[in-house]
Each structure stands twice: as structure tokens, then as C-alpha cells.
A and B are shown apart, each in its own frame.
Chain A
Amino acid sequence: MKGLKIIVLAKQVPDTRNVGKDAMKADGTVNRAVLPAIFNPEDLNALELALRVKDQIPGTIVTILTMGPGRAAEIIREGLYRGADGGILLTDRAFAGSDTLATSYALSQTIKEMGKFDLIIAGRQAIDGDTAQVGPQVAEKLGINQVTYVEEILQIEKSSIKARRRLDNGVETVKAPLPLLLTVNSSAPDCRSRNAKLLMKYKHARTVTERQDAAEDYLYLYDSRPFLNIQEMTVNEIQSTPEQLGLAGSPTKVKRIENVILQAKDAKRLTAADEGINDLMKELIESHVIG
């Protein structure tokens, strides 16, 4: 079978999994300075599914597409270390302040410039917004099919894919024609580690902007090793209408942000016997905490 062209949508996010007390600023926005920037976890699951297709079908090309500030090039390097073939950083001030609608518009317009593709794989949602909207919106804007909440690709045929979806109350197996967009759950396999050789091969990979900004010792390498160039795209390289970009293209308005503090109110002591556990289970089921 011929290799597939796969685009993985990935996002650099603040690590909200281990937030300290200074994670939010006084005005209710995320304090990005104290949270390390990481590869959005479910996007790593998405990358793993793409790399498994590549393992299975030789000739498959996996390209990472990420939108973000210059430092988001790190996401592309992380992808290259794990086996991706290349990446594009979509970066421009014009994209600043994008909500999910403006983001999916910018991404889909970029994908149109990237040529023919078979599969787009994205994480279900990013941990900084938890909207789960960008993937489905990209599919809509490109006019292709989508399968959400995927945890495993079961079968790849010439013009279709069979995948298993993980839903609240079970699993569902679906078959959909290519080209196709998948969003991937965290129940999918964890992404493989960085590979030692790829890590050493790509560690000097930089975007043009990074090369200009940094006092880089290995500048002379970029001519003889073209794979070290990370492609950067700006608003000028895609077809777009300014009203649909960035803040202007973002109808989402944040009305109010509040801190929710979860507090234990009263404690309950159980007898350490089957009886005590039974009572607790009954109570939890009755109050719909479980079940």
C-alpha cells in the first residue's frame, strides 16, 4: 500500500497539570511565565497514532502543524525527535488572540496550502482551554469527514480507515472514507519517547526566526543539512481575510472568570469492615456520585 500523507495538529500549552498557587494572575488569566510550556498531552497521543501508521505503511509522511509564538517551534522539534518527518510553525502577530473559530480558520487555510493529504490527526482537546472544538472545526472548514474521540486505528485501506472511538459508556467502531480528520483521546497509547539518533540529528533544527534571534553556534550547518530548517509560515503565505483572523475573527468573549476552590466540608468515619464499605457504596450510588 502507498504511504499516507498525514498532518498532525499540535499545540504548545502551559502545563496545567501541576499548577501551584501562582498559576493564575490576579486578573484571572493564566500566568504563562510560571507554567512550563509542553506538548499538549492528547496531541502526543495523536502523534503516536500517526507514527504507528508510518511504522505500518512505509512511505508515510508525518508533518506537524502548530500555530503559536516563535517558541512553539519546540513542539516541532519534539515531534521530529519522535519520528515525524517535518513540521510547519504558523506564526504571526495577526493570529494573536485567536479563539477556536479563528484558530481553525487559520489552520484550515494553511492546510489548503500544504497540498494533498490523506489524514489529519489532532488531540481531542488542549489542556489550557478544554474546548475540543478546533479539530472538528478544521474538518468542517475543509469539508472532510471527521471521527472524534478515537483511541485506536484498527485498519487502513486504500480509501478508508476503521477506528475505535472511546465514548462515555463504551466503545464504537466506525469506518470512514479518506481524506479524514481524527481527534484522539488520552486513552490512545502514550507517545513513544524521543529516539536517541533523531534527537541528535534534529537538536539543532531551527526556524529562520530562531536562527536570527539566537547566538547560534552551528549556523553553518543549515546549508549542508537542509533538514535542520523548520518551515515557518506567516499570514502572508496563506489565503485569508483579515476579519476572520486573530482577535477580530474571534467571537468568543470571556464574560467573567472566577476561582473555584474545592473544599472538604465534613469528614465521615467508616468502620473498617464490609458493612461500612457497603453503606458508603449505597450512599455514593444514591447521591449519584458513582453509577
Chain B
Amino acid sequence: MANLYNDNKDLKFHLTHPMMQKLVMLKERNFTDKADFDYAPIDFEDAMDSYERVLEVVGEISGDIIAPNAESIDAEGPQVVDGRVIYARGTQENLDALIKAGLLGITLPRRFGGLNFPIVPYIMAADIVSRADAGFVNIWGLQDCAETLNEFASEEQKERWLTRVVQGETMAMDLTEPDAGSDLQAVQLKATWSESKGTWLLNGVKRFITNGDGDIALVLARSEEGTRDGRGLSMYVYDKRKGGVSVRRIEHKMGIIGSPTCELVFKDAPGELIGNRKMGLIKYVMALMNGARLGIAAQAVGISEAAYREALQYAKERAQFGKTIIHFPAVYEMLSVMKAKLDGSRTLLYETARFVDLYKTYQHISEERKLTTEERDEMKEYQKLADIFTPLVKGISSEYCNQNAYDAIQIHGGSGFMKDYAVERIYRDARITSIYEGTTQLQVVAAIRGVTTEGYLKQIRVYEKQDLRPDLEKYRRVLISLTWDFEEAAEKVINVGDTEFIDFHARRLVEMAGYIIMSYLLVLDANRDIEYSRSAQNFNKMAKGEVKARAEFIRASSLEDIGHYKY
């Protein structure tokens, strides 16, 4: 089959973004690892070449193994036998192929056996694997958890745990419980220190845990007896080899069926404390969730890609009324809008990944040496951007992938409703992306800070100042006008001085910012490569309509309105 990296030139385009030079130099600490590791890059070009070659391997495995297995995994699903999860045959085959190819621990430092890749190529790998099988990506993508260990565990703990992850042990993040879903402050699973055993013991139930029978799990548990909120929670790492956790059942889901969603019972399961007590939720889970959210955004973009390609191919082949349906305005418009949404969410994904990369890399450098004032300011700047862009891209790309999956089925007509075509599975798989790792509504709660603190506006101004080819000027003019609308709307909502009024309009405001930002990014992409002019144009037109509609809604809205919606 096709190589899913090589057959999609959008990936190389985003991989070779001009900001990569700076990012790679920092990530590789000016290429000092080459003295100690024979696979470390010699210079910038060598590093980029390595990323590309490794992504080609990801693309090959995705095309030859993962995509062909997707259908049987969806039909077969995982099972629970004696409290343990048995993956579907294809899932194990996918995982074995990726482990043999050394594709676990992609972002981890070389001293633990990782590849020390920046987040951008890692996210790109997730984008590729998701296109092949969105259900499978969860199991492989949980290597994200190792990044949290790398950030907060002690050197000795990292040595023990991370080296196992790069060998191919899978991970899980055990956070949610029956009564603690979106509201993790309500977590009840108990952690008690056992003096006799010299370890923390975990007792309780976790629910909706992806890959819950993974080899190494990060567990959020209540270590402070008598507390009720987030400040009583700590983070533990649990080793499946030690025992104490059994899988009670796996959920029967609508989509991502290959990914086992487990209910876990902890009975005196030994746990090892990570970092400091009481920081579990407020610090470590927040970091964990931000990484996971970026991963879901990549998953959503990969699904959008798959949906778009299925729809495009079908529209080119299916003939009705004497011509292939791609020649009907109703169909080609739908396809072009799908492509614009795909391109818009992908460019936002990689912009966000670069911000996260830069801030995390500075953070790791700060553990090795004192940052200069300039570097520290930059780190803070990128951290702020990462914090407001992550929920934005998670929210928007997951909504778009659902819209694209919906339209892909629409283009297939009656056939799309049948089990015979891949779009049916893609549609079911898409649905979870706007729910887990925080619903779109919760992403808005996080993203609204970007509106109230003017973080988005500031970044929009940065894009506004970029040099453009003359033919792209017209889009900038539109976007400047849309930015006025956005500013006016935000100002009006904030000036009412009522938090419920802000919450009521939050999604509208965040989406306005999103449309403007994605439209700018696509214009900048078109400036770098003329290939993107089409999506830049189509997205710009759509953005204008969508932003204006929201601006009108807010203009005509007052505090009294809310009453008409309330129950």
C-alpha cells in the first residue's frame, strides 16, 4: 500500500517550517549528543533528514500494516480474560511492528534510549498513524505519559521507567472514576502509606481508562485523608509486574473499538510517588492532559485526512446523471470546504506543537543551566501561547474531524451508511475526539483565557505584521476587519462584567479567534508555498462568514437573553 508519509506532502511542508531551525538547535543543545550516541544528528540538516526518514518508516508501517488491520480490529475488538486485556490480533501486530521499528519513546532523551525528537515530528507520526487507524493510535500514543515522567520524576525514577517505555512497554493514565469524569477534583481512589511494606498502596476503582491494562500506569489518587478537592491528590506510577490491579470489564464503545477502555479495580496495588505530594492534579495531571490534548488534536487531524481522502476518491469514481459526482457544485464545494478545514486544523496543530516544543525544551534546558533573561522571557512567552493554543486546537480540530466525517458519509450517499466502506468506521471513530481529554465545552473553558487576557489578539497582531506576496494582501485586509469584529465582541462581552455572560458567549469568542488564527496561518502557508492558495482562499471566505455571524449574535445579545435559554 501507499506510504502514508510520502503520499501526503502537507506533512513535509509543516515539518520544514522555518521555525524548526531554532527549535532543533535548542532541542539538540547544539548537537552535543553526537559524541556519545551514534544515532544522534551531526547538524540541523542531518537532524531534519533523520526526522524525515523515521517518518517514512512510520508512513510505511501505517500503510502496510496498520491501515490494512483497521477493519478486522474494529470487528474483533479486545477482550478481557481473567482480569487481563487481550488485544485484537491486528492491534498486537501493529504494536509489535512499531516496537521493532523503535518507535516508542520518540521524544525521550537519548540517555534513556529515546530518539530525542522534538514534539513536532512526534505529533506528525501520530497524525499519520491516526489516519491509518484512529483506534490504534491511542495505545501507541500513550507514550505521552512518559513525557510527564520525564518532566517530573527523579533522575533515578526516569532511569527505571523510561528505559522500559523505549523497549516497548505500553502506558496508561488512570485518572477518571465513576464519579470523577470531567471533574477530576472528585477523585476518590485511595493512596495510603504502608510502613510495613515500605510503599504506597492504592485502593479503589478507575473507569474509562484507555489501555487500562498497560504495563506502566500513571495513577491519580487521594493521598491526603479527609480532603475533598484537588489539593489532596498525588500522582503515582504503578507497575503491572507488581500486580494488584485487575480489569473488571471493558466498555462496548461506538468507535475506536480496538482501544480497550477499562474499568480497573485496585486492591493494595503498590504505587510509587511521582514528584511532590498534593501536586498530582494541580501540576502533573495538567501537564499530562496538555500533552494528551495535543495528541487528540493530531488524532483528529489524521481522521480528517482519512475522511477527506475517502470522500475525494469516492466522488471521483461515482457517476450519476452521466458524470462523476465530483463535478456537481454541491459535492465539490463540500470537498473543498473539507480540505480547507483539514488544512486549517493541521496548520494550527503544528503551530501549537512548535509552541509546546519551544517552551518544553527551554524548561528542560533550565534544569541543566541557568537560562539567560532573554531565554526565560521567551520560555514564558511560548508557555503562554502553548497554554491557549492547546485547548483551541483540540477543540477545533476535533469538531472539524466530526464535520469532515459527516460530510464524507454524505458524499458516499447510501453507500456511506453501509458497513462496506471505511467512512462508516471513520465516522464512529471521529465522535470521541470532541469528548475525551476534555469535551469541546471544557476546551472553551480553558481557551477563553486567551480571549480575556488578549493572548490570541496579541498573536493575531504578530501574524498581521508578516510580509506577504501581493496576491495574498486581500486576505489580510479581510482578517484585519474580522479582528475588529473579534475585539469589539470580546470587549462588549467582558464589559458587561458578568461571568455567566462570558461563559455564555465563550465558545463564540474562542471560535472567532480560531477562525482568524487559522485563516492567517493558511495565508502564511500560501505565502511559503503557492499550493496552499486554494485553501487559504476558501478558508478565508468561510472565516468571514462565520466570524461575522458570531459578531452579529454578540452585538445583538444582552444579559437578559440568557434567561430565555435557562432551564
Contacts and interface: CB of A to CB of B under 8 A. Distances in A.
Interface string B23-60: 00000000000000011111001100110011001001
Given A197-B39, A199-B57, A227-B38, A192 B50 contact: no
A197 B39 CA distance: 6
Given A200-B50, A203-B50, A194 B57 contact: yes
A87 to B, nearest CB: 17
B101 interface: yes
B38 A218 contact: no
A199 B49 contact: no
B60 A193 contact: yes
A226 to B, nearest CB: 11
A221 B45 CA distance: 15
B101 A201 contact: no
A131 to B, nearest CB: 28
B206 to A, nearest CB: 32
Contacts of B41: 200
A272 interface: no
A218 B49 CA distance: 13
A192 to B, nearest CB: 5
Interface centre among B38, B41, B54, B60 (most CB of A within 10 A): B38
Interface string A198-241: 11110100000000000001100100010100000000000000
A174 B314 CA distance: 50
A195 interface: yes
B103 interface: yes
Nearest to A190: B64
A196 interface: yes
Contacts of A221: 42
B110 to A, nearest CB: 9
Contacts of B469: none
Nearest to B96: A192
A195 B100 contact: yes
B115 A193 contact: no
B100 A192 contact: yes
A195 B106 CA distance: 12
A156 to B, nearest CB: 20
A218 B97 contact: no
Given A193-B57, A193-B60, A194-B57, A201 B97 contact: no
Contacts of B100: 192-193, 195
Given A192-B97, A193-B101, A203 B54 contact: no
Contacts of A199: 50, 53-54, 57
B380 to A, nearest CB: 33
B61 interface: yes
B53 A203 contact: yes
A192 B53 contact: no
Interface in A17-59: none
Given A192-B100, A194-B101, A225-B38, A200 B60 contact: no
Nearest to A193: B101
A200 B53 contact: yes
B102 interface: yes
A277 B159 CA distance: 63
Nearest to B113: A197
Interface in B96-118: 97, 100-103, 106, 115
A265 B60 CA distance: 39
A201 B110 CA distance: 13
Interface centre among B46, B61, B101, B106 (most CB of A within 10 A): B101
Nearest to A217: B45
A195 B102 CA distance: 6
A204 B49 CA distance: 11
A218 B46 contact: yes
A121 B61 CA distance: 25
Interface string B89-101: 0000000010011
Nearest to A218: B42
Nearest to A55: B100
Contacts of A195: 100-102
Contacts of A203: 49-50, 53
B42 A193 contact: no
A203 B42 CA distance: 12
Interface centre among B60, B100, B115 (most CB of A within 10 A): B100
A227 B61 CA distance: 27
A196 B57 contact: yes
A41 to B, nearest CB: 13
Interface in A160-205: 192-201, 203
A144 B100 CA distance: 33
A192 B102 CA distance: 11
B101 A196 contact: yes
A198 B45 CA distance: 18
Contact of A200 (B39, B61, B97, B101): B39
A197 B102 CA distance: 7
Nearest to A192: B100
Contacts of B102: 195-198
Nearest to B45: A217
Contact of B61 (A193, A217, A218, A225): A193
A285 to B, nearest CB: 31
Nearest to A195: B102
A275 B415 CA distance: 28
Contact of B54 (A192, A196, A227): A196
Contacts of A201: 38-39
Interface string A81-125: 000000000000000000000000000000000000000000000
Given A196-B57, A203-B50, 6 more contacts: A193-B61, A194-B53, A195-B100, A198-B102, A200-B50, A218-B42
23 contacts: A192-B97, A192-B100, A193-B60, A193-B97, A193-B100, A193-B101, A194-B53, A195-B100, A195-B101, A195-B102, A196-B54, A196-B57, A196-B102, A196-B106, A197-B39, A198-B39, A199-B50, A200-B41, A200-B50, A201-B39, A217-B45, A218-B42, A227-B38
Interface of B: 38-42, 45-46, 49-50, 53-54, 57, 60-61, 97, 100-103, 106, 115
Interface of A: 192-201, 203, 217-218, 221, 225, 227
Question: Considering the complex of A and B, which 9 residue pairs feature the smallest CB-CB distances, nearest first?
Answer: A200-B39, A196-B102, A201-B39, A193-B101, A197-B39, A195-B102, A196-B54, A200-B50, A201-B38
